[in-house]
Chain A
Amino acid sequence: DAGVIQSPRHEVTEMGQEVTLRCKPISGHDYLFWYRQTMMRGLELLIYFNNNVPIDDSGMPEDRFSAKMPNASFSTLKIQPSEPRDSAVYFCASSFYGQETQYFGPGTRLLVL
């Protein structure tokens, strides 16, 4: 079975540009999580969805960040406009209710110049 799929794997962009990160959760999973990993702050949850509905977005750093989940098999995390401090690895993870484990995608390494 395919795991969580993320694209792109690497993204280099210039400050001010829009960045869109994509995630396809494991089929059948009804929870989807977006995390960010930096050296300074470690791994932190940005937002999570249940059945395509955002449940907790308290970790989203500011209005420049937005996330959507239009259907059960696709989610996006958008940064507009991007800033150098957004440089990080962004992970998507999924799970289903009744199973505790979150399975992570390979991550997107974002560099904003």
Chain B
Amino acid sequence: AQKITQTQPGMFVQEKEAVTLDCTYDTSDPSYGLFWYKQPSSGEMIFLIYQGSYDQQNATEGRYSLNFQKARKSANLVISASQLGDSAMYFCAMRERRSGGTASKLTFGTGTRLQVTL
């Protein structure tokens, strides 16, 4: 079963508008973390935002916010006031913490390609 599901292969948004990129996850681990990364056409992976499963508030980083709905197992990325430079692939990822507290690997979704238009 897919652990991270991104159902939108591609999205368009007009400049200055807000856009929501969907991400749902599946885990039985009570302690986990959710991440969003941006991959522009140049290829690098850029960390955007992180949400811990025990965090009470939704994470925000500048124009990025994470709409975390734990009961629905969703962690959607909201980009406000879109800019042309936001055009990129966006990946949702999950980290499940194994017993013993050691760091664990990230599992990535398939990504959503966002295109910002004038």
Which of A11-19, A20-28, A104-112 touches B?
Answer: A104-112
B: number of interface residues (CB 8 Å) = 20
Instruction: Contacts A89-B43, A106-B43, A107-B43 given; indicate if A45 touches B50 (C-beta within 8 A).
Output: no
Q: Residue A55 at the B interface, CB < 8 A?
A: yes
Instruction: Flag if A101 contacts B50 (CB, 8 Å).
Output: yes
| Interface assignment of B71: CB less than 8 Å from any CB of chain A | no
Q: List the B side residues contacting A31 at CB < 8 Å.
A: 103
A107 to B44 CA separation, bound complex (whole angstroms): 7
For B93, the closest partner residue in chain A by CB is: A43
Query: Which residues of chain B from 5 to 43 have a CB within 8 Å of any chain A CB?
Result: 33, 35, 37, 43
Main secondary structure of the interface of B (DSSP, over half): strand
Report if B81 contacts A (CB, 8 A): no
Q: Check B47 against A43 for contact (C-beta < 8 Å).
A: no
Q: Closest approach, in angstroms, between the C-beta of B108 and any C-beta of chain A? A: 4
Contact of A50 among B47, B50, B103, B111 (CB under 8 A): B103
Summarize A's interface: helix, strand, loop or mixed: strand
Q: A42-B108, A100-B50 are in contact. Are A95 and B103 (CB under 8 A)?
A: yes
Chain A interface size, under 10 / 10 to 19 / 20 to 34 / 35 or more: 20 to 34
The closest CB in chain B to the CB of A107 belongs to B43
Contacts between the two chains (Cβ within 8 Å), count:
49
Contact of A33 with B105 in the complex, beta carbons under 8 Å: yes
State which of A50, A55, A91 has its C-beta within 8 Å of the C-beta of B45: A91
- Asked if A48 and B105 make an inter-chain contact with CB atoms under 8 angstroms apart, the answer reads yes
| Cα separation A31 to B95 with both chains bound (whole Å) | 14
Does the CB pair A100–B33 fall under 8 Å?
yes
Neighbouring A residues of B60 by C-beta, 8 Å: none
Which residues of A lie under 8 Å from residue B47 when comparing CB positions?
A: 101-104
The CA-CA distance from A33 to B110 in the complex, in Å, is 19
A48, A56, A101: the one contacting B35 at CB < 8 Å is A101
Contacts of A43 in B (CB 8 A): 91, 108
Closest partner residue, chain A, to B52 (CB atom)? A100
Does B84 reach chain A (CB closer than 8 Å)? no
Residue pairs across A and B with Cβ atoms less than 8 A apart, 21 shown, are A31-B103, A42-B108, A43-B108, A48-B103, A48-B105, A56-B105, A89-B43, A91-B45, A93-B45, A97-B102, A100-B33, A100-B35, A100-B52, A101-B35, A102-B106, A104-B37, A104-B44, A104-B45, A104-B47, A107-B44, A109-B43
